[in-house]
Structure 1
Amino acid sequence: MGYEFDRDTAVTSTGAGTGTATGTGEYAASLAPGWMIGGGINGGYLLAVVGAALRAASPGKPDPVVVSAHYLSASVPGPATVSTRVLRDGAGPGSLASLAAEVTQDGVPRISALATYADLGRLPDDVRTTATEPVLPAVEDCVPSSLAPEDFRRTSPLLDRLDLRLDPAHAGWAVGEPSGAGEIQGWLAMADGREPDPLSLLLALDSLPPVTFDLGMPGWAPTLELTAHVRARPAPGWLKVRHATRNLAGGLFEEDCEVWDSAGRLVAQSRQLAKAPRSRT
Protein backbone atom coordinates (compact mmCIF):
# COMPACT_ATOMS: atom_id res chain seq x y z
CA MET A 1 0.00 0.00 0.00
CA GLY A 2 1.33 3.38 -0.99
CA TYR A 3 -0.07 5.54 1.82
CA GLU A 4 0.67 5.36 5.54
CA PHE A 5 -2.97 5.61 6.58
CA ASP A 6 -3.99 2.65 4.41
CA ARG A 7 -1.04 0.57 5.59
CA ASP A 8 -1.55 1.36 9.27
CA THR A 9 -5.32 0.82 9.34
CA ALA A 10 -5.21 -2.44 7.34
CA VAL A 11 -6.82 -5.51 8.90
CA THR A 12 -6.55 -9.18 7.97
CA SER A 13 -9.18 -11.84 8.61
CA THR A 14 -7.99 -14.51 11.02
CA GLY A 15 -10.58 -16.98 9.73
CA ALA A 16 -12.33 -17.12 13.09
CA GLY A 17 -16.09 -16.63 13.25
CA THR A 18 -18.87 -17.71 10.94
CA GLY A 19 -18.16 -15.19 8.22
CA THR A 20 -21.83 -15.18 7.16
CA ALA A 21 -24.01 -12.15 6.53
CA THR A 22 -25.43 -12.40 10.05
CA GLY A 23 -22.39 -13.89 11.75
CA THR A 24 -19.17 -12.96 13.43
CA GLY A 25 -15.70 -12.19 12.20
CA GLU A 26 -12.25 -11.63 13.62
CA TYR A 27 -9.53 -9.41 12.19
CA ALA A 28 -5.90 -8.91 13.09
CA ALA A 29 -4.58 -5.35 13.20
CA SER A 30 -1.28 -3.75 14.08
CA LEU A 31 -1.61 -0.42 15.87
CA ALA A 32 1.23 1.71 14.56
CA PRO A 33 3.31 3.99 16.82
CA GLY A 34 3.31 6.71 14.17
CA TRP A 35 -0.22 7.75 15.19
CA MET A 36 0.62 8.58 18.81
CA ILE A 37 0.01 12.04 20.21
CA GLY A 38 1.44 13.12 23.55
CA GLY A 39 2.16 9.54 24.60
CA GLY A 40 -1.21 8.00 23.62
CA ILE A 41 -2.57 6.60 20.35
CA ASN A 42 -4.91 9.06 18.63
CA GLY A 43 -8.57 8.15 19.09
CA GLY A 44 -9.48 9.01 15.50
CA TYR A 45 -6.85 6.64 14.15
CA LEU A 46 -8.18 3.90 16.43
CA LEU A 47 -11.71 4.60 15.19
CA ALA A 48 -10.47 4.24 11.61
CA VAL A 49 -8.93 0.83 12.43
CA VAL A 50 -12.31 -0.25 13.81
CA GLY A 51 -13.91 1.22 10.70
CA ALA A 52 -11.64 -0.80 8.42
CA ALA A 53 -12.67 -4.05 10.14
CA LEU A 54 -16.35 -3.14 9.92
CA ARG A 55 -15.95 -2.35 6.24
CA ALA A 56 -14.47 -5.81 5.69
CA ALA A 57 -17.40 -7.32 7.60
CA SER A 58 -20.06 -5.61 5.44
CA PRO A 59 -19.48 -6.47 1.74
CA GLY A 60 -21.36 -4.12 -0.57
CA LYS A 61 -21.64 -1.49 2.16
CA PRO A 62 -18.14 0.01 2.32
CA ASP A 63 -18.81 3.34 4.01
CA PRO A 64 -19.29 4.26 7.67
CA VAL A 65 -22.46 6.26 8.25
CA VAL A 66 -22.48 6.19 12.06
CA VAL A 67 -19.79 4.83 14.35
CA SER A 68 -20.20 5.18 18.10
CA ALA A 69 -17.26 3.97 20.17
CA HIS A 70 -16.55 3.70 23.88
CA TYR A 71 -12.84 3.78 24.72
CA LEU A 72 -12.47 1.30 27.58
CA SER A 73 -8.72 1.39 28.17
CA ALA A 74 -5.65 2.98 26.63
CA SER A 75 -4.48 1.22 23.47
CA VAL A 76 -0.76 0.70 22.89
CA PRO A 77 1.26 0.17 19.71
CA GLY A 78 1.36 -3.44 18.60
CA PRO A 79 -0.96 -6.32 17.68
CA ALA A 80 -4.69 -5.98 18.28
CA THR A 81 -7.75 -8.07 17.50
CA VAL A 82 -10.99 -6.60 16.15
CA SER A 83 -13.99 -8.87 16.61
CA THR A 84 -17.07 -7.99 14.54
CA ARG A 85 -20.74 -8.95 14.51
CA VAL A 86 -23.32 -8.27 11.81
CA LEU A 87 -26.47 -7.40 13.73
CA ARG A 88 -28.63 -6.67 10.71
CA ASP A 89 -27.89 -6.49 6.98
CA GLY A 90 -30.47 -4.79 4.78
CA ALA A 91 -31.04 -5.66 1.14
CA GLY A 92 -31.60 -3.45 -1.88
CA PRO A 93 -30.29 -0.07 -3.10
CA GLY A 94 -29.49 2.36 -0.31
CA SER A 95 -29.82 -0.31 2.37
CA LEU A 96 -27.97 -0.19 5.69
CA ALA A 97 -26.06 -2.69 7.79
CA SER A 98 -25.91 -2.57 11.60
CA LEU A 99 -22.70 -3.90 13.10
CA ALA A 100 -20.75 -4.19 16.33
CA ALA A 101 -17.03 -4.39 17.02
CA GLU A 102 -14.71 -4.93 19.97
CA VAL A 103 -10.98 -4.25 20.02
CA THR A 104 -8.75 -6.21 22.39
CA GLN A 105 -5.02 -6.45 23.04
CA ASP A 106 -3.77 -9.54 24.88
CA GLY A 107 -7.33 -10.14 26.02
CA VAL A 108 -7.72 -6.62 27.44
CA PRO A 109 -10.76 -4.76 26.03
CA ARG A 110 -9.81 -1.45 24.42
CA ILE A 111 -12.82 -0.26 22.40
CA SER A 112 -16.46 -1.28 22.05
CA ALA A 113 -18.38 0.12 19.07
CA LEU A 114 -21.72 0.05 17.29
CA ALA A 115 -21.97 1.19 13.69
CA THR A 116 -24.17 1.65 10.65
CA TYR A 117 -22.63 1.08 7.21
CA ALA A 118 -23.90 1.73 3.69
CA ASP A 119 -22.80 2.65 0.19
CA LEU A 120 -22.86 6.45 0.46
CA GLY A 121 -22.95 6.71 -3.33
CA ARG A 122 -26.38 5.06 -3.33
CA LEU A 123 -28.02 7.21 -0.66
CA PRO A 124 -30.21 10.24 -1.55
CA ASP A 125 -28.11 13.28 -2.45
CA ASP A 126 -30.46 16.02 -1.21
CA VAL A 127 -28.95 18.41 1.36
CA ARG A 128 -30.83 20.74 3.70
CA THR A 129 -28.70 22.37 6.37
CA THR A 130 -28.48 25.45 8.54
CA ALA A 131 -24.82 24.73 9.31
CA THR A 132 -22.34 27.40 8.27
CA GLU A 133 -19.02 26.56 6.63
CA PRO A 134 -16.05 27.89 8.65
CA VAL A 135 -14.31 30.94 7.23
CA LEU A 136 -10.56 30.37 7.30
CA PRO A 137 -7.56 32.40 6.15
CA ALA A 138 -5.69 31.00 3.16
CA VAL A 139 -3.75 27.82 3.88
CA GLU A 140 -0.43 29.63 3.63
CA ASP A 141 -1.59 32.21 6.19
CA CYS A 142 -2.40 29.62 8.86
CA VAL A 143 -0.10 28.18 11.53
CA PRO A 144 1.44 24.83 10.48
CA SER A 145 1.73 22.06 13.06
CA SER A 146 5.37 21.74 11.98
CA LEU A 147 6.07 24.76 14.20
CA ALA A 148 5.20 22.77 17.35
CA PRO A 149 8.09 22.57 19.85
CA GLU A 150 10.60 19.83 19.07
CA ASP A 151 10.17 18.09 22.43
CA PHE A 152 6.42 17.81 21.80
CA ARG A 153 6.94 16.55 18.27
CA ARG A 154 9.18 13.76 19.55
CA THR A 155 6.32 12.37 21.64
CA SER A 156 3.65 13.17 19.02
CA PRO A 157 4.58 11.53 15.70
CA LEU A 158 0.95 11.97 14.59
CA LEU A 159 1.96 15.50 13.59
CA ASP A 160 4.25 14.04 10.92
CA ARG A 161 1.36 12.07 9.40
CA LEU A 162 -0.84 15.16 8.98
CA ASP A 163 -0.55 18.54 7.31
CA LEU A 164 -2.47 20.66 9.80
CA ARG A 165 -2.74 24.44 9.44
CA LEU A 166 -4.47 26.19 12.35
CA ASP A 167 -6.44 29.41 12.06
CA PRO A 168 -4.31 32.04 13.88
CA ALA A 169 -7.47 33.54 15.39
CA HIS A 170 -8.00 30.27 17.27
CA ALA A 171 -4.37 29.41 18.08
CA GLY A 172 -3.44 31.96 20.75
CA TRP A 173 -3.12 29.12 23.26
CA ALA A 174 0.09 28.10 21.45
CA VAL A 175 1.77 31.29 22.74
CA GLY A 176 0.11 31.28 26.15
CA GLU A 177 -2.89 33.40 25.15
CA PRO A 178 -5.96 31.13 24.96
CA SER A 179 -9.15 32.92 23.97
CA GLY A 180 -11.36 31.09 26.46
CA ALA A 181 -13.98 30.53 23.74
CA GLY A 182 -13.30 26.80 23.43
CA GLU A 183 -12.88 26.80 19.64
CA ILE A 184 -10.11 25.55 17.34
CA GLN A 185 -10.29 25.31 13.55
CA GLY A 186 -7.99 24.84 10.60
CA TRP A 187 -7.12 23.14 7.33
CA LEU A 188 -6.29 19.43 7.25
CA ALA A 189 -4.69 17.09 4.72
CA MET A 190 -2.58 13.95 4.85
CA ALA A 191 1.13 14.75 4.79
CA ASP A 192 1.83 12.12 2.12
CA GLY A 193 -0.83 13.44 -0.26
CA ARG A 194 -3.51 10.80 0.32
CA GLU A 195 -6.90 12.21 -0.60
CA PRO A 196 -9.73 12.08 1.95
CA ASP A 197 -12.36 9.33 1.89
CA PRO A 198 -15.08 8.20 4.31
CA LEU A 199 -12.68 6.08 6.38
CA SER A 200 -10.13 8.87 6.79
CA LEU A 201 -12.92 11.22 7.91
CA LEU A 202 -13.04 9.15 11.11
CA LEU A 203 -9.47 10.29 11.74
CA ALA A 204 -10.21 13.88 10.73
CA LEU A 205 -12.94 14.13 13.37
CA ASP A 206 -10.33 13.72 16.13
CA SER A 207 -7.32 15.33 14.50
CA LEU A 208 -7.14 18.82 15.99
CA PRO A 209 -5.73 19.63 19.44
CA PRO A 210 -8.33 19.30 22.23
CA VAL A 211 -10.52 22.41 22.53
CA THR A 212 -9.51 22.58 26.19
CA PHE A 213 -6.24 24.08 24.93
CA ASP A 214 -8.28 27.17 24.02
CA LEU A 215 -9.64 27.20 27.59
CA GLY A 216 -6.11 27.47 28.98
CA MET A 217 -6.00 23.76 29.89
CA PRO A 218 -3.14 22.09 28.01
CA GLY A 219 -2.52 18.39 28.34
CA TRP A 220 -3.86 15.01 27.34
CA ALA A 221 -7.67 14.78 27.18
CA PRO A 222 -8.56 11.06 26.89
CA THR A 223 -11.75 10.29 24.99
CA LEU A 224 -14.44 8.31 26.78
CA GLU A 225 -16.95 8.08 23.92
CA LEU A 226 -17.05 9.38 20.36
CA THR A 227 -19.94 9.24 17.91
CA ALA A 228 -19.12 10.02 14.28
CA HIS A 229 -21.59 10.75 11.47
CA VAL A 230 -20.22 10.53 7.94
CA ARG A 231 -22.58 12.41 5.62
CA ALA A 232 -20.96 12.12 2.19
CA ARG A 233 -17.84 11.02 0.34
CA PRO A 234 -15.50 14.01 0.44
CA ALA A 235 -14.17 15.77 -2.65
CA PRO A 236 -10.39 15.73 -3.16
CA GLY A 237 -8.38 18.50 -1.56
CA TRP A 238 -8.06 20.24 1.78
CA LEU A 239 -10.59 19.68 4.54
CA LYS A 240 -11.82 22.39 6.89
CA VAL A 241 -12.13 21.10 10.47
CA ARG A 242 -13.69 22.91 13.41
CA HIS A 243 -13.80 21.74 17.05
CA ALA A 244 -15.83 23.50 19.74
CA THR A 245 -17.12 22.92 23.27
CA ARG A 246 -19.93 24.55 25.22
CA ASN A 247 -19.71 22.85 28.57
CA LEU A 248 -17.08 21.55 30.98
CA ALA A 249 -18.41 20.04 34.19
CA GLY A 250 -17.43 17.29 36.58
CA GLY A 251 -14.00 17.04 34.99
CA LEU A 252 -15.54 16.14 31.60
CA PHE A 253 -16.18 18.16 28.46
CA GLU A 254 -17.92 17.58 25.17
CA GLU A 255 -16.21 18.34 21.87
CA ASP A 256 -18.28 18.89 18.74
CA CYS A 257 -16.57 18.63 15.37
CA GLU A 258 -17.53 19.51 11.80
CA VAL A 259 -15.56 18.55 8.69
CA TRP A 260 -16.18 20.38 5.40
CA ASP A 261 -14.69 19.31 2.07
CA SER A 262 -13.20 21.37 -0.76
CA ALA A 263 -16.63 21.54 -2.45
CA GLY A 264 -18.07 23.32 0.59
CA ARG A 265 -20.08 20.35 1.85
CA LEU A 266 -20.47 19.27 5.45
CA VAL A 267 -19.16 15.70 5.06
CA ALA A 268 -18.73 14.58 8.67
CA GLN A 269 -19.76 15.50 12.20
CA SER A 270 -19.01 14.13 15.64
CA ARG A 271 -19.49 14.63 19.34
CA GLN A 272 -17.19 13.14 21.92
CA LEU A 273 -17.06 13.17 25.69
CA ALA A 274 -13.56 13.40 27.12
CA LYS A 275 -11.77 13.89 30.41
CA ALA A 276 -10.46 17.39 31.00
CA PRO A 277 -6.67 17.65 31.27
CA ARG A 278 -5.38 17.49 34.81
CA SER A 279 -4.18 20.72 36.34
CA ARG A 280 -0.41 21.10 36.48
CA THR A 281 -0.63 22.86 39.80
Structure 2
Amino acid sequence: MAQVVQASIGDSEFDRDTAVTLRAPGVYDADLSAGWTIIRAVNGGYLLALLGRALGEALPHSDPFTVSAHYLSASRPGPAVIRTETIRTGRTLSTGQASLVQYEDDGTETERVRVLATYGDLGALSDEVRTSARPPGIPPYEQCFGTDTAPAPFSGSSAIMDRLAVRLDPATVGWAVGAPSGKGETRGWFGLADGRDPDPLALLLAVDALPPTSFDLGLKGWTPTVELTVHVRSRPAPGPLRVAITTRNLAGGFLEEDAEIWDSRDRLVAQSRQLAKAPL
Protein backbone atom coordinates (compact mmCIF):
# COMPACT_ATOMS: atom_id res chain seq x y z
CA MET A 1 0.00 0.00 0.00
CA ALA A 2 1.39 3.39 -0.97
CA GLN A 3 1.00 6.02 1.74
CA VAL A 4 1.96 9.66 1.50
CA VAL A 5 3.95 10.63 4.60
CA GLN A 6 2.92 14.10 5.69
CA ALA A 7 4.11 14.00 9.30
CA SER A 8 6.97 12.39 11.19
CA ILE A 9 7.34 10.99 14.70
CA GLY A 10 7.62 13.95 17.06
CA ASP A 11 5.98 16.34 14.58
CA SER A 12 2.39 15.19 14.09
CA GLU A 13 -1.07 15.87 15.45
CA PHE A 14 -0.81 12.74 17.61
CA ASP A 15 2.42 14.02 19.17
CA ARG A 16 1.00 17.47 19.78
CA ASP A 17 -2.20 16.10 21.29
CA THR A 18 -0.31 13.74 23.63
CA ALA A 19 2.20 16.38 24.72
CA VAL A 20 2.68 16.89 28.46
CA THR A 21 4.26 19.85 30.27
CA LEU A 22 6.23 19.39 33.46
CA ARG A 23 4.64 21.38 36.31
CA ALA A 24 6.57 19.93 39.25
CA PRO A 25 8.68 16.79 39.78
CA GLY A 26 6.53 13.90 38.53
CA VAL A 27 3.53 16.14 37.79
CA TYR A 28 2.49 17.06 34.25
CA ASP A 29 -0.17 19.29 32.69
CA ALA A 30 -2.01 17.98 29.64
CA ASP A 31 -4.87 19.05 27.41
CA LEU A 32 -7.23 16.31 26.24
CA SER A 33 -8.05 17.03 22.61
CA ALA A 34 -11.65 16.79 21.39
CA GLY A 35 -10.23 15.29 18.20
CA TRP A 36 -9.87 11.87 19.86
CA THR A 37 -13.42 11.42 21.14
CA ILE A 38 -15.90 8.62 20.54
CA ILE A 39 -19.41 10.00 20.89
CA ARG A 40 -18.62 12.45 23.75
CA ALA A 41 -15.93 10.54 25.70
CA VAL A 42 -12.20 10.69 25.06
CA ASN A 43 -10.90 7.44 23.53
CA GLY A 44 -9.20 5.05 25.96
CA GLY A 45 -6.28 4.28 23.65
CA TYR A 46 -5.51 7.98 23.25
CA LEU A 47 -5.58 8.39 27.03
CA LEU A 48 -3.25 5.43 27.41
CA ALA A 49 -0.79 6.98 24.94
CA LEU A 50 -0.95 10.29 26.82
CA LEU A 51 -0.23 8.63 30.16
CA GLY A 52 2.40 6.50 28.46
CA ARG A 53 4.21 9.61 27.27
CA ALA A 54 4.21 11.10 30.78
CA LEU A 55 5.61 7.89 32.27
CA GLY A 56 8.26 7.73 29.53
CA GLU A 57 9.45 11.17 30.62
CA ALA A 58 9.26 10.43 34.34
CA LEU A 59 10.99 7.02 34.35
CA PRO A 60 14.65 6.34 33.49
CA HIS A 61 13.57 4.00 30.66
CA SER A 62 11.57 5.39 27.76
CA ASP A 63 9.75 2.43 26.14
CA PRO A 64 6.54 0.88 27.51
CA PHE A 65 6.81 -2.90 27.96
CA THR A 66 3.57 -3.53 29.84
CA VAL A 67 0.90 -0.98 30.71
CA SER A 68 -2.25 -1.73 32.72
CA ALA A 69 -4.93 0.94 32.99
CA HIS A 70 -8.12 1.12 35.03
CA TYR A 71 -10.67 3.58 33.64
CA LEU A 72 -12.45 5.10 36.62
CA SER A 73 -14.67 7.72 34.98
CA ALA A 74 -15.27 9.09 31.50
CA SER A 75 -12.72 11.72 30.46
CA ARG A 76 -13.81 14.88 28.69
CA PRO A 77 -11.87 17.21 26.41
CA GLY A 78 -9.99 19.92 28.24
CA PRO A 79 -7.27 20.41 30.85
CA ALA A 80 -5.99 17.48 32.89
CA VAL A 81 -3.20 16.77 35.37
CA ILE A 82 -1.06 13.62 35.36
CA ARG A 83 0.72 12.63 38.55
CA THR A 84 3.44 10.00 38.24
CA GLU A 85 5.33 7.99 40.82
CA THR A 86 8.47 5.92 40.31
CA ILE A 87 8.03 2.62 42.14
CA ARG A 88 11.22 0.79 41.21
CA THR A 89 14.21 1.33 38.96
CA GLY A 90 16.64 -1.32 37.78
CA ARG A 91 19.31 -1.75 35.14
CA THR A 92 16.97 -2.94 32.37
CA LEU A 93 13.46 -2.18 33.67
CA SER A 94 11.71 0.50 35.67
CA THR A 95 8.18 0.51 37.07
CA GLY A 96 5.92 3.44 37.80
CA GLN A 97 2.33 4.48 38.16
CA ALA A 98 0.38 7.44 36.85
CA SER A 99 -2.98 8.99 37.58
CA LEU A 100 -4.91 11.33 35.29
CA VAL A 101 -7.32 13.74 36.99
CA GLN A 102 -9.66 16.49 35.88
CA TYR A 103 -11.47 19.18 37.83
CA GLU A 104 -15.23 19.59 38.00
CA ASP A 105 -16.98 22.95 37.69
CA ASP A 106 -17.10 23.26 41.48
CA GLY A 107 -13.34 22.67 41.76
CA THR A 108 -13.49 19.10 43.02
CA GLU A 109 -10.95 16.66 41.60
CA THR A 110 -12.05 13.51 39.76
CA GLU A 111 -9.64 10.73 38.88
CA ARG A 112 -10.21 9.45 35.34
CA VAL A 113 -7.52 6.80 34.76
CA ARG A 114 -4.91 5.04 36.89
CA VAL A 115 -2.00 3.19 35.28
CA LEU A 116 0.69 0.80 36.49
CA ALA A 117 3.47 0.23 33.95
CA THR A 118 6.91 -1.26 33.42
CA TYR A 119 9.30 0.41 30.97
CA GLY A 120 12.57 -0.62 29.35
CA ASP A 121 14.56 -0.29 26.13
CA LEU A 122 12.91 -2.09 23.19
CA GLY A 123 16.02 -1.53 21.12
CA ALA A 124 18.06 -3.70 23.49
CA LEU A 125 15.87 -6.80 23.16
CA SER A 126 17.08 -10.01 21.54
CA ASP A 127 16.07 -10.75 17.95
CA GLU A 128 15.22 -14.37 18.80
CA VAL A 129 11.57 -15.28 18.16
CA ARG A 130 9.84 -18.58 18.87
CA THR A 131 6.15 -18.31 18.18
CA SER A 132 3.13 -20.16 16.88
CA ALA A 133 1.33 -16.86 16.20
CA ARG A 134 0.60 -15.94 12.60
CA PRO A 135 -0.39 -12.60 11.03
CA PRO A 136 -4.14 -12.16 10.56
CA GLY A 137 -5.56 -12.90 7.14
CA ILE A 138 -6.70 -9.40 6.17
CA PRO A 139 -7.39 -8.54 2.51
CA PRO A 140 -5.19 -5.93 0.83
CA TYR A 141 -5.71 -2.36 2.04
CA GLU A 142 -7.50 -1.33 -1.14
CA GLN A 143 -10.06 -4.12 -0.69
CA CYS A 144 -10.96 -3.11 2.89
CA PHE A 145 -13.55 -0.56 3.97
CA GLY A 146 -12.76 2.91 5.30
CA THR A 147 -15.17 5.60 6.42
CA ASP A 148 -15.31 6.84 2.82
CA THR A 149 -15.91 3.42 1.25
CA ALA A 150 -18.01 1.53 3.82
CA PRO A 151 -21.44 0.25 2.76
CA ALA A 152 -22.96 2.34 5.60
CA PRO A 153 -21.59 4.97 8.02
CA PHE A 154 -19.54 3.64 10.93
CA SER A 155 -21.22 4.17 14.29
CA GLY A 156 -19.80 6.67 16.79
CA SER A 157 -18.08 10.00 16.56
CA SER A 158 -16.28 10.98 13.38
CA ALA A 159 -13.76 13.00 15.38
CA ILE A 160 -11.29 10.19 16.07
CA MET A 161 -11.91 8.54 12.70
CA ASP A 162 -10.81 11.74 10.96
CA ARG A 163 -7.40 11.29 12.58
CA LEU A 164 -6.98 7.65 11.68
CA ALA A 165 -6.32 5.76 8.45
CA VAL A 166 -8.39 2.66 9.25
CA ARG A 167 -9.57 0.10 6.72
CA LEU A 168 -11.68 -2.78 8.02
CA ASP A 169 -11.82 -6.33 6.74
CA PRO A 170 -15.17 -6.65 4.90
CA ALA A 171 -15.77 -9.94 6.73
CA THR A 172 -16.01 -8.06 10.03
CA VAL A 173 -18.22 -5.08 9.06
CA GLY A 174 -21.53 -6.80 8.39
CA TRP A 175 -22.91 -4.86 11.36
CA ALA A 176 -22.72 -1.68 9.25
CA VAL A 177 -25.54 -3.03 7.06
CA GLY A 178 -27.46 -4.80 9.80
CA ALA A 179 -25.87 -8.22 9.25
CA PRO A 180 -23.28 -8.85 12.02
CA SER A 181 -21.53 -12.21 11.80
CA GLY A 182 -22.00 -13.00 15.49
CA LYS A 183 -18.37 -14.15 15.75
CA GLY A 184 -17.13 -11.17 17.78
CA GLU A 185 -14.27 -10.22 15.45
CA THR A 186 -12.78 -6.95 14.22
CA ARG A 187 -9.82 -6.85 11.83
CA GLY A 188 -8.27 -4.12 9.80
CA TRP A 189 -5.40 -1.91 8.76
CA PHE A 190 -4.42 0.91 11.10
CA GLY A 191 -2.41 4.08 10.65
CA LEU A 192 -2.55 7.77 11.46
CA ALA A 193 -4.25 9.95 8.87
CA ASP A 194 -1.30 12.34 8.57
CA GLY A 195 1.04 9.50 7.61
CA ARG A 196 3.07 9.44 10.85
CA ASP A 197 4.76 6.06 11.23
CA PRO A 198 3.91 3.95 14.28
CA ASP A 199 6.00 3.88 17.44
CA PRO A 200 5.40 2.26 20.85
CA LEU A 201 3.03 5.06 21.94
CA ALA A 202 0.99 4.67 18.76
CA LEU A 203 0.61 0.97 19.61
CA LEU A 204 -1.09 1.99 22.87
CA LEU A 205 -3.60 3.90 20.77
CA ALA A 206 -4.05 1.21 18.13
CA VAL A 207 -5.22 -1.54 20.49
CA ASP A 208 -8.35 0.51 21.32
CA ALA A 209 -9.04 2.48 18.15
CA LEU A 210 -11.04 0.08 15.96
CA PRO A 211 -14.82 -0.45 16.30
CA PRO A 212 -15.57 -2.77 19.24
CA THR A 213 -16.20 -6.47 18.72
CA SER A 214 -19.60 -5.97 20.33
CA PHE A 215 -20.76 -4.53 16.99
CA ASP A 216 -20.01 -7.87 15.34
CA LEU A 217 -22.12 -9.52 18.04
CA GLY A 218 -25.08 -7.42 16.97
CA LEU A 219 -24.93 -4.87 19.78
CA LYS A 220 -24.95 -1.12 19.25
CA GLY A 221 -23.69 1.76 21.34
CA TRP A 222 -20.74 2.78 23.45
CA THR A 223 -18.60 -0.06 24.86
CA PRO A 224 -16.66 1.63 27.70
CA THR A 225 -13.36 0.11 28.78
CA VAL A 226 -13.08 -0.97 32.42
CA GLU A 227 -9.48 -2.25 32.33
CA LEU A 228 -6.91 -2.50 29.54
CA THR A 229 -3.50 -4.18 29.61
CA VAL A 230 -1.05 -3.81 26.72
CA HIS A 231 2.19 -5.71 26.14
CA VAL A 232 4.54 -3.99 23.69
CA ARG A 233 6.84 -6.64 22.22
CA SER A 234 8.90 -4.70 19.69
CA ARG A 235 9.35 -1.27 18.17
CA PRO A 236 7.20 -1.37 15.01
CA ALA A 237 8.65 -1.00 11.54
CA PRO A 238 7.47 1.93 9.38
CA GLY A 239 4.23 1.39 7.51
CA PRO A 240 0.65 0.44 8.29
CA LEU A 241 -0.24 -1.94 11.11
CA ARG A 242 -2.65 -4.87 11.03
CA VAL A 243 -4.94 -5.22 14.02
CA ALA A 244 -7.01 -8.29 14.90
CA ILE A 245 -9.42 -8.21 17.85
CA THR A 246 -11.62 -11.02 19.13
CA THR A 247 -14.02 -11.68 21.98
CA ARG A 248 -15.05 -15.15 23.11
CA ASN A 249 -17.25 -14.46 26.11
CA LEU A 250 -19.96 -11.91 26.84
CA ALA A 251 -21.52 -12.58 30.24
CA GLY A 252 -23.02 -10.52 33.02
CA GLY A 253 -22.97 -7.41 30.88
CA PHE A 254 -19.19 -7.50 30.30
CA LEU A 255 -16.98 -8.80 27.49
CA GLU A 256 -13.25 -9.27 26.97
CA GLU A 257 -11.31 -8.19 23.90
CA ASP A 258 -7.99 -9.74 22.89
CA ALA A 259 -5.97 -7.78 20.35
CA GLU A 260 -2.86 -8.49 18.30
CA ILE A 261 -0.95 -5.87 16.33
CA TRP A 262 1.37 -6.84 13.49
CA ASP A 263 3.76 -4.50 11.70
CA SER A 264 4.79 -4.26 8.05
CA ARG A 265 7.55 -6.83 8.62
CA ASP A 266 5.04 -9.48 9.82
CA ARG A 267 6.15 -9.16 13.44
CA LEU A 268 3.76 -9.35 16.39
CA VAL A 269 4.61 -6.00 18.00
CA ALA A 270 1.85 -5.66 20.61
CA GLN A 271 -0.83 -7.67 22.38
CA SER A 272 -3.61 -6.54 24.67
CA ARG A 273 -6.60 -7.68 26.68
CA GLN A 274 -9.35 -5.48 27.96
CA LEU A 275 -12.54 -5.86 29.95
CA ALA A 276 -15.38 -3.68 28.71
CA LYS A 277 -19.02 -3.07 29.51
CA ALA A 278 -21.31 -4.42 26.83
CA PRO A 279 -23.64 -1.83 25.28
CA LEU A 280 -27.06 -1.71 26.92
State TM-score, norm by structure 2.
0.92
Residue 145 of structure 1: CA displacement? 2.4
Contact 1:145 1:163 in 2 (8 A): no
1:76 corresponds to which letter in structure 2?
R
| Cα distance change on mapping 1:151 and 1:235 into 2, 3 Å | closer
Matches within 5 A, 1:19-38: 25-38=26-39
Give the secondary structure class of the aligned counterpart of 1:130: coil
Q: Distance in 1 between matches of 2:153 and 2:199?
A: 31
| Cα distance change on mapping 1:151 and 1:174 into 2, 3 Å | closer
Matches within 5 A, 1:1-281: 2-15=11-24, 17=25, 25-59=26-60, 61-91=61-91, 95-106=92-103, 107-147=109-149, 155-278=157-280
Q: Distance in 2 between matches of 1:272 and 1:141?
A: 29
Residue of structure 2 equivalent to 1:22:
none
Percent identity (aligned): 58
Residue 214 of structure 1: CA displacement? 0.2
Gaps of 5+ in 1: 18-24
1:231 corresponds to which letter in structure 2?
R
Q: Distance in 1 between matches of 2:153 and 2:240?
A: 25
Contact 1:183 1:245 in 2 (8 A): yes
Q: Distance in 2 between matches of 1:79 and 1:126?
A: 43
Q: Distance in 2 between matches of 1:111 and 1:263?
A: 33
Contact 1:145 1:166 in 2 (8 A): no
Q: Distance in 1 between matches of 2:73 and 2:242?
A: 30
Count residues in correspondence: 265
Contact 2:153 2:176 in 1 (8 A): no
Residue 235 of structure 1: CA displacement? 0.3
Residue 227 of structure 1: CA displacement? 0.2
Give the secondary structure class of the aligned counterpart of 1:241: strand
Residue 218 of structure 1: CA displacement? 1.4
1:117 corresponds to which letter in structure 2?
Y
State TM-score, norm by structure 1.
0.91
Residue 146 of structure 1: CA displacement? 3.1
Q: Distance in 2 between matches of 1:179 and 1:108?
A: 39
Residue 132 of structure 1: CA displacement? 1.6
Gaps of 5+ in 2: 1-9, 104-108
Q: Distance in 2 between matches of 1:192 and 1:11?
A: 21
Residue 269 of structure 1: CA displacement? 0.4
Q: Distance in 1 between matches of 2:230 and 2:158?
A: 23
Contact 2:40 2:76 in 1 (8 A): no
Residue 102 of structure 1: CA displacement? 0.5
Contact 2:154 2:176 in 1 (8 A): no
